[in-house]
Chain A
Amino acid sequence: MDDLLADFIEETREMLEAIGSEIVAWEANPADRARLDAIFRFVHTVKGNCGFFDFPRLEKLSHAAEDALADVRKGRREADSQLVTAVLAIVDRISDMITAIEAGQELAEGGDEALIAALEAGAETAPMVGQSPAPARPADSVTTSTAAPSSAPRSIRLPVELLDRVMSGVSDMVLARNDLAHRLKEAGNQPTVDGPFERLSSILTNVRDAITRMRMQRIETLYTAIPRLVRDLSADLGKQVMVDLEGGEVELDREMIEMMRDPLTHIIRNAIDHGFEPPAERLKNGKREIGLLSIAARQAGNKISIVISDDGRGLDEERIAAKAVSTDIITKAQRSKMSREEILDLIFAAGFSTAEEVSSVSGRGVGMDVVRDNLEKVGGEIQVSSQPGEGTRFYLQIPLTLSIIAGLTLKAGGQRFVLPQSYVEEIVRLRGDKGVIEDMGDTSLVTFREQRVHMISLADVLGVKAEVPRENANLLMLRLASGDLYALAVDQVQSSSDIVVKPLPPAIMSCGIYCGTTLLDDGQPILLLDVPNIAQEYGLMSETRALSAQVLIDGKPTVERPLDRAMLFSKLDGHKRLVRLGLVKRIETISAAAIDRSGRECRAVVDGEILPVIGIDEGASLDGSVRLLRLTDGSSEVLHAVGSVEDAVDLANELVAVDEPDPLIEAVTLIEGESIALIDSHKLFAIHGALPRQAASKTCQLPDSDWAKTILAPLVEAAGYTPAFDADADIVITLDAVESLPTAKPVIALRSAPDDQVEPSQRNSSIYRYDRERLISALRDASKGEAA
């Protein structure tokens, strides 16, 4: 209802604005039929609408005006100036009422009847003028009281083309200013000119900001259609969805608003069609019957982020993967190596659509790939995250405006070009290093952050000759919105600045590698490179993306073997071993006492987690502290006891499989002339891996004494317990207790007297408080009992 009311107010406002000029014209010429009709339509519409909303006063006023105007239209009455004045008074009154309704206030009573009476044929004009404050021009008195608090901003309507013209005029002024600045600099210091020029410059900057804002529209304009869309769709699909719209006041270039409309609609359609469960299923899963779709817009710097989240069933990783495999987007082998994020990302792949049946709502051939492409075209990006059963979130990021972007100037083949900075992930300067660039056939690969990335030379793209040898080039690591990464080799990287992008004529656009032009500060024109198009031309876009992380070597897709690095260490027995560096989380040092060697497998507590320990030979004596490599496969963890950690090394030489009795050895390789065994990562976790168990959750109640706090507590802590001094602990330690506690919890009884000073029966039932070994083993036994 509130929305409808807002619509009503908005509509009436617009009509009031539109007939504003009609009223004036009608006043000048009451016989003007066209004006009369326009005003008649207005009061007629208002009458119809307010009947629906139950505004009896508004209805009565508009009805009276309608009647009077209808008489005029039918020729039963002359439109004399008295009638005109009376109708105008009513129109003004309607305007005031609308303002009052919007502000949620009641318009002051009274005066309506007088206004209506004034419409009567032959009514005296005198009383209207005579009744001073109330009816004649109620606007005067009323607006001051009602309009003031709402203080509706004064606004005007302008044709969009005019705005665009002003915008481009200001852009040109900026360019002319830059040109002038350059010339002034060349002419040297001229205090009489420089001061005013500075001033002109700063004014122009202000004006440009203001103009840019003039083109801004609230994102609300996008939001208005959403509730209806959601209502219709959810009704069609038998779902119940509530919309929560946030950040409607965020402003965006109107072109961007138009660009956003389709992607937003598409994501909403998908969410309602695939995301939300039917109400019954939601109830079964312990969710509210009504799903919540929330859309929030925020401005961060010169970007707008829009988050669209639903609390539906979330994206189905398995189904997406299966679909991607069946549509040949990825192979089964690739699928097995992909993380959940990578799989979810597949929904943006070309030719992907999860709907099993094509429904009328979504799945009409346009998929998320189109959404991503469209966003990418305007320099935006989209990401998805989803928790099974909890919902899905789409993150959209778009630039505030299209026409001014941050550009990076670079040089290739002796000529300058500019490209949008937003693509540049990193700039890498090659310093003549050999072996950084590998030629695979006609393709050049460069190693960047342990990844082989396709490298294109901008000079080759342009068909010119590079001035800098390839080994010394500057590489721009360009990240496309699709997530693809490629390297663009250029001769020189110059500077970054805000550029005003101008369109190119068709003849140059047809080259396919430029998307605009701009003028540099020195007045020279420069071309803006079309980063996605260049990537496309070289086949580096989405279709090949699944392969981009795994480069083809020797014709076989393999994981990057030459890039493997390993940690070289000595075991406790002095033997050297290698373990892949990716597994090493960190190096821990713990006290030997904290390693539990009582069971078949050793365990230790690190950071409150119980982890398996390997690398300790049975019977080996440990004292002092032990260094451990904390290895992880992402979820499970294993600690490997080491004598010393040597270094991180490259696995540059061949890995030779060996027939070793030790199942943990994968192969042997040469490291600096020494043959060293590499630990088999897979078997390591298959045999020993364990999900970290929270040990810290166990508490141990200690006797309330200084001895317990200062001497016993650290010991208990080292054994993996959190010391506590209240009764709510998992196990209890008592000291010199006379009688046993009435508790089902494991109790460790300590006594102050040494073993040789007590009765043999006491010797077994309690432990001498400095008998560390017995105390620790008692704690372990207690913890095992607890676990069982």
Chain B
Amino acid sequence: MSELLVLAVIAGKRCAFCASDVGSVIEAGVIAPVPRAPRHVVGITALRSQAMTVIDCRTVIAEDPSIYPCDSHLAVIEVAGHSYALQVDKIDDIATAQSGIAPVPGGSGKHWNRVCKGMLETDRGPALLIDVEQVVAGIEQKSVKAA
């Protein structure tokens, strides 16, 4: 219940990551693009000498991510042994969950349903809890289709 959350804004919506999922929040350095990669893959970057894949969360959710400006902070997560840095509109703050996870009444929309576990209350108001594995898995599924 008192779980720590990292609040972020993705495609203009307030979202939350479990703090335990997020290894760190980094300032984006130079991102080397990966030609021919699926469009979710922004490129690769290095954090403390470790290469990681930068993924634009907003492409998983929104049709056109370019309408949302983003800042230079990336949330670093690890899925299946690979490090990813998630690009969001904005990393907001750390907050404590004030409720359990509850489904969003009526669902949160086609794209959102796939990547969020539900909603929960924070002192900043309700936020959608992002399932990072789904974000990456969703991207993987899409990339397989693309390939």
List residues of A whose CB falls within 8 A of some B CB: 172, 175-176, 178-179, 413, 415-416, 462-464, 502-508, 510-514, 517-519, 523-527
Contacts and interface: CB of A to CB of B under 8 A. Distances in A.
Given A506-B143, A510-B144, A415 B82 contact: no
Contact of B34 (A172, A179, A527): A527
B139 to A, nearest CB: 6
A599 B53 CA distance: 82
B53 A415 contact: no
Contacts of A519: 46, 49, 51
A176 B49 contact: yes
Nearest to A413: B35
A517 B35 contact: no
A464 B48 contact: no
A525 B84 CA distance: 13
B30 interface: yes
A508 B49 contact: no
B147 A517 contact: no
A503 B49 contact: no
Given A511-B147, A524-B30, A525-B44, A463 B51 contact: no
B140 interface: yes
Interface string B3-40: 00000000000000000000000000010111111101
Interface of B: 30, 32-38, 40-41, 44-46, 48-51, 53, 55, 81-82, 84, 136, 139-140, 143-144, 146-147
A527 B81 CA distance: 18
A175 B50 contact: yes
The 4 closest A-B pairs by CB, nearest first: A462-B35, A175-B49, A505-B82, A176-B49
Contacts of B33: 415
B48 to A, nearest CB: 7
B36 A462 contact: yes
A69 B37 CA distance: 66
29 contacts: A172-B49, A178-B49, A179-B49, A413-B35, A462-B36, A463-B35, A464-B35, A503-B82, A504-B82, A505-B53, A506-B143, A507-B38, A507-B41, A507-B55, A508-B37, A508-B41, A510-B144, A510-B146, A510-B147, A511-B36, A511-B147, A512-B147, A519-B49, A524-B30, A524-B32, A525-B32, A525-B45, A527-B32, A527-B34
Contacts of B48: 176, 179
B45 to A, nearest CB: 6
B61 to A, nearest CB: 16
Given A507-B139, A510-B146, A517-B44, A172 B50 contact: yes
B75 to A, nearest CB: 16
A748 B30 CA distance: 92
B36 A513 contact: yes
Contacts of B143: 506-507, 510
A179 B29 CA distance: 13
Contacts of B40: 507
- Best-buried of B30, B35, B46, B139 by chain A (most CB within 10 Å): B35
A431 to B, nearest CB: 27
Contacts of A525: 32, 44-46, 51
Contacts of A524: 30, 32, 46
A506 B46 CA distance: 18
B147 to A, nearest CB: 4
Contacts of A504: 53, 82
Contacts of B38: 507, 510-511
A502 B53 CA distance: 12
Contacts of A179: 46, 48-49
Contact of A502 (B32, B35, B51, B147): B51
B34 A514 contact: yes
B35 A415 contact: yes
Nearest to A464: B35
Nearest to B50: A172
Contacts of A518: 51
Given A415-B35, A506-B82, A526-B32, 20 more contacts: A172-B49, A175-B49, A462-B36, A463-B36, A502-B51, A505-B136, A507-B136, A507-B139, A508-B34, A508-B53, A511-B37, A511-B147, A512-B147, A517-B44, A519-B51, A523-B49, A524-B46, A525-B44, A525-B45, A527-B32
A581 B83 CA distance: 59
A763 B45 CA distance: 101
B51 A507 contact: no
Contacts of A512: 147
Nearest to A177: B49
A710 to B, nearest CB: 78
A514 to B, nearest CB: 7
A705 B2 CA distance: 117
B132 to A, nearest CB: 13
A524 B81 CA distance: 21
B24 to A, nearest CB: 16
- Best-buried of A176, A505, A517 by chain B (most CB within 10 Å): A505
A504 B45 CA distance: 12
B49 A527 contact: no
Contacts of B50: 172, 175
Contacts of A462: 35-36
Nearest to A458: B35
A517 B51 contact: yes
Nearest to B31: A525
B98 to A, nearest CB: 34
B38 to A, nearest CB: 6
A181 to B, nearest CB: 11
A724 B139 CA distance: 87
Contacts of B35: 413, 415, 462-464
